[in-house]
Amino acid sequence: MASPRLVAVPLVALVALYLGSANAFYSSSGPVVELTSGNLKQKLKAAGIMLTEFYAPWCGHCQSLKPAWEQAAKALKGIVAVGAADCDAHKEIAQEYRVQGFPTIKLLYVDESGSIKSTDYNGGRTAKELVTFALDKARSLAMKRLGEKDSGSKSSGGSKGSRGGNGGGGSDGGFYGGTDVVTLTDDNFKSEVIKSNDLWLVEFYAPWCGHCKNLKPSWIEAASELQGKFKLGAVDCTVHQSVCSEHGVQGYPTIKYFGTNKRSPEDYQGGRDTGSIVAFGNAKHADNVPPPEPEELVSQAAFEEHCVGNGSSKPKRLCLIAFLPNLLDSKAAGRKRYVGILKKVAEAYRDKPYSYLWVEGGVHDKLEANFDVGGFGYPALVAFNPADKKYTVCKSAFEFSHVKDWVESMRMGGTGAVAMQGSLAPLKAITAWDGQDAKEDLPEEFSLDELNEL
């Protein structure tokens, strides 16, 4: 009887076979499809749609994701393919799909033309969230092929209308709900930001992001302080991926400034504290918003609108009110010079919630009495705080440099504000100045002959 024939296998080959099997990140017999530069497109076109992880074996986050990824792949087997590409071994894949970090998760699918398309996933890393995202996207794709709009709920990592799950996403407005921060979405970003004339700082965030949670209190406080001058918004990128992808968001939080040219936003590189954010907003507001025009105080309605406030407008922080000489004394040129000085002060403090009013002295005598000015010594300039009903009078000459020094001293608390005299008197309506010199009433001419007759 012939003895069995032994086949010699080189030791190196056995070691290589063993190491290759032992070092495989995902088992070849498991539910995760192994993707390489040679088979990725073939596997994807066969599956039609595939949730894909781009990873590196040495990456700690990839290792942490592995159990959930395998669990999701098992749950989705026969429904949505789940694959993984080792970008350390297949660097050309990382380059082709613009992978910037590990793990990167994308939903790859084949469109009707046969082209491969992708959607980034920025949601949570649990198996449930991954499965929900994949199923929602598969349903959305199927409805699109039918020519129907998908009205179902979206996953925590999806695009529109998501109601995200535990730590992975966030409902629209949930993160900043009830604050002055504007919640922005795929649906409203264009109308709220791109088509608006407002200046915006927009935070692109993820609710599970630690740095985003740290920024949140400062973002809310800054939005309140800048209200009426500068808008702060926020986009949950785990829900609204389209707008985040469009603006090249790679990490959280990403903050961009949308100024006058909304198509070319600038990256915000300032501090993440309230003071830095507010200072940035005020500076941009000052650069882009024209200063308030000095207004003639022609009525009670004008006083309410530009100073003390009413049902539709808030009180100003400070109202500078100038009582100017009679037009017969200053002439039109003199009055225009005084108003011009007010305008220069407005330009110097254009980022402050101040208003600038003027009226001819003696016209609103009761208002002058409230501030203990008037009757003589025009021009008189008063700074009035309508909130605490206090005022201070400028004792210097009505020249720009003197007035500016006075305002600076007042802002530092050095001018000795006093309480207003009595209650604010209602103002009577007057005719606005027409910009011309006053017409003097000349006495009627008479003839010397009339005297001789006497």
Question: How many whole angstroms separate alpha carbon 163 and alpha carbon 185?
Answer: 13
Assign domain 33-145 one CATH number from 1.10.1760.20, 3.30.60.50, 3.90.1150.10, 3.40.30.10.
Answer: 3.40.30.10
Question: How many whole angstroms separate alpha carbon 88 and alpha carbon 37?
Answer: 11
How many H-runs (helices) and E-runs (strands) does the chain carry? 14, 16
Q: What is the 3-state secondary structure (H, E, C) of 270-282?
A: CCCCHHHHHHHHH
Give start and end residues of each alpha helix (H) in 108-167: 127-145
Range of lowest pLDDT (8-12, 133-137, 362-366)? 8-12
The helix (H) or strand (E) run that includes residue 234 is strand 231-236
| Mean pLDDT score, 377-402 | 93
Place of tokens 């491969």: 116
Question: How many whole angstroms separate alpha carbon 131 and alpha carbon 109?
Answer: 16
Pairwise pLDDT comparison (8 vs 102), residue with the higher score: 102
| Predicted pLDDT of residue 443 | 64
SS3 286: helix
Q: What is the CATH architecture assignment of 182-287? A: 3-Layer(aba) Sandwich (3.40)
Looking at the DSSP assignment, which residues form a beta bridge with residue 393? 382
pLDDT (tens digit per residue) in 178-230: 889 999 999 999 999 999 999 999 999 999 999 999 999 999 999 999 988 89
Pairwise pLDDT comparison (151 vs 89), residue with the higher score: 89
Evaluate whether 125 touches 55 at the Cβ level (below 8 Å): no
Q: Where are the domains of the chain?
A: 33-145, 182-287, 295-419
Q: Using alpha carbons only, how large is the chain's radius of gyration in Å?
A: 36
What pLDDT band is residue 153 in, cutting at 50, 70 and 90?
A: very low
Share of the chain above pLDDT 70, in %: 85
SS3 334: helix
What pLDDT band is residue 117 in, cutting at 50, 70 and 90?
A: confident
∠ CA 115-49-110, rounded to 5° = 10
Mention every residue, 6+ apart, whose C-beta is less than 8 A from residue 127: 68, 69, 71, 72, 75
SS3 335: helix
Which amino acid, 349? Y
For the chain, the average pLDDT equals 85
What pLDDT band is residue 160 in, cutting at 50, 70 and 90?
A: very low
Q: Which two tokens stand for residue 450?
A: 């009339």
Whether the upstream peptide bond of residue 57 has omega within 30° of 0, thus cis, is no
| Predicted pLDDT of residue 93 | 93
Question: How many whole angstroms separate alpha carbon 68 and alpha carbon 191?
Answer: 38
What are the C-alpha distances in Å from 139 to residues 47, 54, 134, 144?
15, 23, 9, 9
- Do 295-419 and 33-145 have the same topology in CATH? yes
What are the catalytic residues? 59, 62, 209, 212
| Mean pLDDT score, 411-431 | 86
pLDDT over 80 at 366, yes or no: yes
| Predicted pLDDT of residue 442 | 62
Q: Which two tokens stand for residue 76?
A: 């989705």
| Predicted pLDDT of residue 412 | 80
What pLDDT band is residue 352 in, cutting at 50, 70 and 90?
A: confident
What pLDDT band is residue 154 in, cutting at 50, 70 and 90?
A: very low
Give start and end residues of each alpha helix (H) in 34-80: 40-47, 60-76
Evaluate whether 176 touches 220 at the Cβ level (below 8 Å): yes
pLDDT over 50 at 155, yes or no: no
pLDDT (tens digit per residue) in 259-299: 989 999 999 999 999 999 999 998 898 787 788 899 999 99
pLDDT over 50 at 239, yes or no: yes
| Predicted pLDDT of residue 450 | 60
Range of lowest pLDDT (22-26, 113-117, 342-346, 380-384)? 22-26
Q: Which two tokens stand for residue 228?
A: 């009426």
pLDDT (tens digit per residue) in 306-323: 999 987 788 999 999 999
Question: How many whole angstroms separate alpha carbon 360 and alpha carbon 357?
Answer: 11
pLDDT over 50 at 333, yes or no: yes
Evaluate whether the domain defined by 295-419 bears CATH number 3.40.30.10: yes
Q: Which residues of 320-333 are buried (b: 16+ CB within 10 A; e: fewer)?
A: bbbbbbebeebeee
The helix (H) or strand (E) run that includes residue 55 is strand 49-55
Range of lowest pLDDT (39-43, 161-165, 223-227, 263-267)? 161-165
pLDDT (tens digit per residue) in 15-28: 444 444 446 899 98
| Predicted pLDDT of residue 358 | 97
Question: How many whole angstroms separate alpha carbon 306 and alpha carbon 233?
Answer: 28
What pLDDT band is residue 125 in, cutting at 50, 70 and 90?
A: confident
pLDDT over 70 at 63, yes or no: yes
